[in-house]
Amino acid sequence: MYSNHRTLVLSLKKLSKGVSITAIVPGPNAAHHVLKFASNFLPINSAQTLRHRIKGESNVEAVHLDHIWDDLGPKAYRKFLDIKERYDNKESGLDLPSAVQEVCRAFHNNLYLVKHFRPFLHDGDDFRLAEDYDDTRCIVITSHGVTTMRAAFGSSLSRWDSAKITALLRRAVDEPEYRIAVTTLQGDVAHRAMELMQRFIDGAESFTTPKGGQPHDLAPLLVELSRHSKLIPSYLYLSTSAPEDRPQRTGEFSIVYRSRHKRESVAYKRLNRLQRERHPDVTEMTKKLERHAVQWRQLKHENLVPFLGLNSSHLYNETCIVTPWYEGSSIISYLNAKGSKVSSEALCSMLLETARAISYLHSNNIVHGAIRGGNVIIDDKGHARVTDYDQNLFRDLETVRYDIGGTSFWEAPELIRPTLFGTSGHLTFATDVYAYACLCIEGYTRKRPFHPSNNRAVSEKVVEGQRPDRPYGPGGTLMADGMWSLVESCWSQQASERPSMAGVISKLEEITRSAA
């Protein structure tokens, strides 16, 4: 009998040198300990000799481990034991689905070996291969009556695996229970799945499902997979030329330079000096950018400036945002340049396009957070495109809101005095709706709301319930009754009384039809 592990290891080493001994290790885990040390310290032949001399094989676990040794061999056996020990140890964090997924991934080429894990499952736990396992690599896992799914691919991927991942994606779009099998993928498989989904979404390859699923149905899966796996698709980082030295635009949050990507002009956006001081942890800010960038990359709307990707090759390796370059100007600059040539109908059309872009963001659970005239671009065809929807990421809600150039002119009262209104002070869909009302005032007056009052004075007025006067629009005509009624509802003092952006669109379309 061996009193400790050290004695046992020494004895095993002697056996490897030809010393013949018989190991007698009592207890329910006898085979477990002996075979574990044998697989670590002995050549295969010597270890097999020792295995045959183990006593106490009537123990159920010992018998199963004995069979596993026969089928796996020392190296694979060590992997099996590692998974088993972590599954048995509640503090390891390896739950049943992850343990089963790991076993299936390790032995995916020989499913006969996977069955050996079942006898070691805890009471109430079980798993089986899904009926479409050959196509999707899915495993059905049950724990105390709760069923979930996982997909297990090998550590090295082949081109055939891409077809299986695609089959899994199709099932996930059509069958909700398969979604978790996609969003829990890890490592290289997760990267391959994200790359495939992006190609389908971008139209580089066709994608349909038996139940009529389309490429855009993959976008939520892609975003969730990235967040769950904590992996960032490599395609998000673009190669661009060095940006021009002179910035083209400076805003409250960022500075925009001009650069080139694939022979096309692009906007290269970095944090301005003030925001860099507020967010000195570059690594943390990069992580925030990457987390949001996966979702921004999926946004596609005709009135939204597309997000192309990120770049960290220039400007002291600071991670910057890359978007298409538009020669057009902001809506206010455009209106000032055109003067009386812009009719009330044309202005209403621009505001409607802007509302559609904001509503699209809201439908994707994104709050813009900085709606104002400077963030609406009129392109060379006269259409509105909303930009800078990434700025809410940089917004520091704990800083004083009376900075020069701040956005109190467009801010809802609950953002200025959260405690007074019983709110958290966070940006919401309702604060976007309030800001949109202020944008409408900008469009009619070509000046910021409450002009020429300063930031502090505006904040006090807004909190007290004061609002800008009804403006005159193009041609000196007073803002129409329907439009003024919409603006007043959008900047209601109570957030709950404001319409949704979908409601705003419906009202604007009604106004447009009545004016035709």
Same structural domain, 257 and 207: no
Task: Flag whether 241 is in a domain.
Answer: no
DSSP 350-368: HHHHHHHHHHHHHHTT---
What residues are paired with 258 via a beta bridge?
267
Strand 376-378 and strand 384-386: pairing? Answer: antiparallel
**Phi, psi angle pair for 2, to nearest 5°:** -110, 125
| pLDDT score of 474 | 77
Task: Flag whether 467 is in a domain.
Answer: yes
Q: In 327-443, where do the E strands start and end?
A: 329-330, 376-378, 384-386
Average pLDDT score over residue span 1-28? 46
Of the chain, the percentage scoring pLDDT greater than 90 comes to 50
Task: Flag whether 110 is in a domain.
Answer: no
| pLDDT score of 7 | 47
Confidence of residue 23 (pLDDT cuts 50, 70, 90): very low
Q: How many domains does the chain have?
A: 4
Task: Flag whether 135 is in a domain.
Answer: yes
Same structural domain, 122 and 137: yes
Same structural domain, 81 and 154: no
Same structural domain, 175 and 128: yes
**Which of residues 298, 324, 350 is at a domain's end?**
324
Same structural domain, 320 and 333: no
**Which of residues 296, 324, 352 is at a domain's end?**
324
Confidence of residue 56 (pLDDT cuts 50, 70, 90): very low
Contact between residue 240 and residue 323 where contact means Cβ atoms under 8 Å apart: no
Q: In 338-438, where do the E strands start and end?
A: 376-378, 384-386
Task: Flag whether 106 is in a domain.
Answer: no
Q: Among 105, 112, 38, 103, which Cα is nearest to 75's? A: 38
* Tens-digit pLDDT profile for residues 277-305: 666 677 777 888 888 999 999 999 999 99
Task: Flag whether 244 is in a domain.
Answer: no
* Tens-digit pLDDT profile for residues 234-252: 899 998 888 887 888 776 6
Q: Distance of alpha carbon 472 from its chain centroid, rounded?
A: 44
**Phi, psi angle pair for 427, to nearest 5°:** -65, 140
Average pLDDT score over residue span 413-421? 93
H or E element in which residue 291 lies: helix 282-296
Same structural domain, 381 and 308: no
Same structural domain, 292 and 342: no
Same structural domain, 380 and 340: yes
Please say if the pLDDT value at position 49 is more than 90. no
Same structural domain, 161 and 211: yes
* Tens-digit pLDDT profile for residues 159-182: 788 999 999 999 999 999 999 999
Please say if the pLDDT value at position 418 is more than 90. yes
Domain that holds residue 146: 116-231
Neighbour order of strands in the sheet with 309-311: 249-250, 254-261, 264-271, 320-324, 309-311
Confidence of residue 270 (pLDDT cuts 50, 70, 90): confident
Report the alpha-carbon distance of residue 53 to residue 3 in Å, rounded.
18
| pLDDT score of 9 | 46
Q: Which of 42-51, 262-271, 290-299 has the lowest mean pLDDT?
A: 42-51
Report the alpha-carbon distance of residue 406 to residue 397 in Å, rounded.
12
Counting Cα atoms < 13 Å in the Cβ hemisphere of 200 gives 26
Task: Flag whether 121 is in a domain.
Answer: yes
Tokens of 449: 């709301």
Same structural domain, 335 and 457: yes
Tokens of 414: 């609950």
Contact between residue 411 and residue 491 where contact means Cβ atoms under 8 Å apart: no
> Positive or negative, the Cα torsion across 365, 368, 371, 376?
negative
Same structural domain, 342 and 473: yes
Residue type, 442: E
**Which of residues 63, 94, 125 is at a domain's end?**
94
Same structural domain, 261 and 191: no
Report the alpha-carbon distance of residue 34 to residue 50 in Å, rounded.
8
Task: Flag whether 239 is in a domain.
Answer: no
CATH number of 444's domain: 1.10.510.10
For the chain, how far is it from start to end, CA to CA, in angstroms? Answer: 98
